[in-house]
Structure 1
Amino acid sequence: MNWTQTVRMAFKSILNNKIRSLLTMLGIIIGVASVIAIVASIQGTTKLQKLQYEAMGANRIDVYAWGARNKDWQEFEEYLDSLDEVAAWSPQSQYWDWQNGGVQYRSKKMDSNGSDSGYLQMYFVNEHYGEVTSMSISAGRDLTEADCKSRARVCVIGETLRKYFFGAMSPIGQELRIGGKSFEIVGVYAGKYGGKLNTNDQMLIMPYTLQSLMMSSQGMSDHQYIIKAENAEDIQTLTEQTLPEFMQPRCEVNGGYFSAYSNSQSQQQQEASSNLMALLGGGIASISLLVGGIGIMNIMLVSVTERTREIGIRMAIGARKRDIIGQFLVEAAVVSCCGGIIGIVLGCFASAVLGRFMLARQLQQNMYLPNVEQFTVLPSVGLVLGAFLFSALLGIIFGLYPANKASNLQPVDALRTQ
């Protein structure tokens, strides 16, 4: 008997007992669907976290420190320029609006210390700020080196400020009042968060050379920098060795401290945690697969009992022991594979539904999640292929005992069975 005939007979046997076959597949269906849905949803959560970190800037390192002298910070900036591992850097010193003047355009005002219009983030930066934070210009231009050198009173605003102050009107060339001083708007950063309040879209940047003009020395004791590493592989060396070894002793001399941290490190930790959760979740859901395998073994044993006379006739006309084993193994594998395919389809559907639910929930609860035009959680090809192969293997393993029992029947005894 060839394998084509064996598979055809297996499908015929399944179709002759549709309800029983479906109930037998149920454990496999639930198990495969559960594994795919759980693992895919955890992978979807990891994907959302990755989108959030990417929105903050690729290969980004945040530096926060205080205690060093101005001369030390000048040397630190020169040191950053000399490092091949550093692609770009920018200071990011927050503008503390002690007078609470906020930002004003004509009669409209946005409070800088939090109000109904949200919290406004204002920073002193250099011409590389857009590069290190992965911000892109949607209108006008970014800050330039000439702006910083000439201490030009210019600013770039975020999408939230553009919508709040100007609506459909172009803000380029308009003037804002910041701390009682006039600033010309030269550019607008494209919104990453849909122009929502209390996000990085609600920001305004000015040349860092204006910091001493806009703020008193009491508000300048700390220093913050954003550094973009040339490669992801350079991040650990920069954060743990290169930068601390140069700057930490200079800060600690005056009782200060130095911190260099990368969001990619958090991302790696969260990915490792998500992978572990996916493994545990998949392992728990796999228990139902084992239950499904036991169900296949049980139904195949019943099938052997019901078809004892058929087995005896086949053996009497020349069927070998391996033919009988092959027939029952193929039947068990077909039942398991059919259940696996149905489970994969249901698992993919459940993953897509869970993905939309997760995205809607994250957009409501997480203000730092960037706007996502299209987000679909679907299992990876490896996961689908693995689930199918595992279901097939499960059918073969649990079909071995019934198949072996069928092949060990004696033709005379089998033919005598009514």
Structure 2
Amino acid sequence: MNWLQTIRMALKAISNNKVRSFLTMLGIIIGVGAVISLVASIQGMATLSRLQYEAMGTNKITIYGNGLKSADWNDLEDTLSIDLKDRVKGWSPQRTYYDWQSKGVQYRSKVLANQKYTTNIYFGNQDYSTVTNMRIVSGRDISAADCARSSRVCIIGEAVRKYFFGAMSPLGQHIRIGGKSFEVIGVYAGKYGGKLNTGDQLVVLPYTLQPLMMEVSVYDSRNYIIQAQTKDDIQPIVDTINGKFKSRAGSNGYFECNSDAQFQEQAQASSNQLALLGGGVAAISLLVGGIGIMNIMLVSVTERTREIGIRMAIGARRRDIIGQFLVESAAVSCCGGLLGIALGCFGSAVIGNLLIKQQTAAMSGWMPDIEHFTVLPSLPLVLGAFLFSALLGIIFGLYPANKAAKLQPVDALRTQ
């Protein structure tokens, strides 16, 4: 007997007991659906985290330090510009302006007061927009000439633009910070919906204006942002800078150079472990479904003992009997797997998107807004779940199939 005929007989046996076959599939359906929903939802959360980090800048390295002399910081800048120029795509200071008098930012009579809203004011160079992945939507960026001339210019975030200017163009207008006037030359695209008290509420000035704006100590605190050429360049840059400058901070200072990639890798590893754990727990229901298949196949063997005897009497071989029952159990399991995949796709879209919405709301204000995406299982996950369900059908169908094949034709024919 050929395999095509075996498959037809197996499918006919399933169709003759539709309700029982569906109830047998139910364990597989629930198991596959649960595995896909859980793993895909966790993967969706990991994707959200990765996109948010990428929105803040790819291949980004940050330096925080205190206790180094100005000569040390100059040496650091030379190291980035000369020694590491083949590995560094761009770098910029990110020194914070502290408005000790709390006057806030002013435009004419309107004030964005620090008592109510915190405006992030930074000193950066011509690479600041590049290394922070900020995009100019109108006007121009800070140039090297602006830094060299200490030009009183600034770029504002979307929240500042909305608050002061509304529908009016801010370009060429002057705002006051610390009692000094600065011309607005550009506007950054919003990453946080243009809301106040978020990363969109910022102003960036040329870094050479820091001595004009505030007192700078010989042992001042500094922050730098670096963008590596490639991901492979990140660790050599971090190792070089830490090895050369960390010891210069002294016992009363600190110096740290690290990369967001390290945090992303840790978060990805945690997500992978959580996905394995969730998938493992959900896979238990698959095993229960497999046991259900074995149970119903044993019942089927008992019910069809006479049929088996007739087939063996007219020449069916032992392997034909085994093949028939294995195909039948695998067909039940595969059909359950397909229905489970459909359930898993629906579940991952619903559960994953609810989790992402909740996470986005919780992190609103300090993590960038990401364009909405639907959580769906990956192709390897779907294929893996389907093949595993088929394998379960074969494994748990072996014992009933073997039992059917061991029946003696004479004994089977005596069965009523």
- 1:18-417 to 2 correspondence within 5 Å? 18-82=18-82, 83=84, 84-112=86-114, 114-115=115-116, 118-217=117-216, 221-239=220-238, 241-252=239-250, 255-367=252-364, 368-417=366-415
- 1 CA distance for matches of 2:372 and 2:248? 48
> What is the TM-score with the length of structure 2 in the denominator?
0.97
- Structure 1 residue 73, shift from structure 2 partner: 1.1
What amino acid sits opposite 1:366 in the alignment?
Answer: M
- 2 CA distance for matches of 1:220 and 1:214? 17
What amino acid sits opposite 1:327 in the alignment?
Answer: Q
- Structure 1 residue 372, shift from structure 2 partner: 2.7
- Structure 1 residue 220, shift from structure 2 partner: 7.4
- 2 CA distance for matches of 1:273 and 1:384? 22
- Structure 1 residue 370, shift from structure 2 partner: 2.5
Q: Which residue of 2 aligns with 1:6?
A: 6
- Structure 1 residue 163, shift from structure 2 partner: 1.1
- 2 CA distance for matches of 1:358 and 1:308? 52
- 1 CA distance for matches of 2:213 and 2:372? 42
CA contact (8 A) 1:155 1:183 kept: yes
- 1 CA distance for matches of 2:224 and 2:200? 19
- Structure 1 residue 21, shift from structure 2 partner: 0.8
1:254-304 CA-partner distances (Å, limit 9, x unpaired):
732211111110000010011011111111111111110000000000000
1:97-124 CA-partner distances (Å, limit 9, x unpaired):
0111110111211123x51xx3210000
Change (3 A) 1:355 1:196: farther
- Structure 1 residue 198, shift from structure 2 partner: 2.3
> What is the TM-score with the length of structure 1 in the denominator?
0.96
What amino acid sits opposite 1:136 in the alignment?
Answer: R
1:231-268 CA-partner distances (Å, limit 9, x unpaired):
111222222x200122122221x732211111110000
* Paired residues, number: 413
- 2 CA distance for matches of 1:219 and 1:329? 80
CA contact (8 A) 1:192 1:371 kept: yes
What amino acid sits opposite 2:81 in the alignment?
Answer: D
- 2 CA distance for matches of 1:373 and 1:54? 13
- 1 CA distance for matches of 2:219 and 2:158? 27
Unaligned runs of 5+ in 2: none
1:194-247 CA-partner distances (Å, limit 9, x unpaired):
1122221111100000000000135972011001112111222222x2001221
- 1 CA distance for matches of 2:195 and 2:328? 58
What amino acid sits opposite 1:153 in the alignment?
Answer: R
CA contact (8 A) 1:355 1:375 kept: no
- Structure 1 residue 411, shift from structure 2 partner: 0.8
- 2 CA distance for matches of 1:190 and 1:246? 37
What amino acid sits opposite 2:333 in the alignment?
Answer: S
- 1 CA distance for matches of 2:389 and 2:349? 22
What amino acid sits opposite 2:47 in the alignment?
Answer: K
**Deviation beyond 3 Å, 4+ runs, structure 1:** none
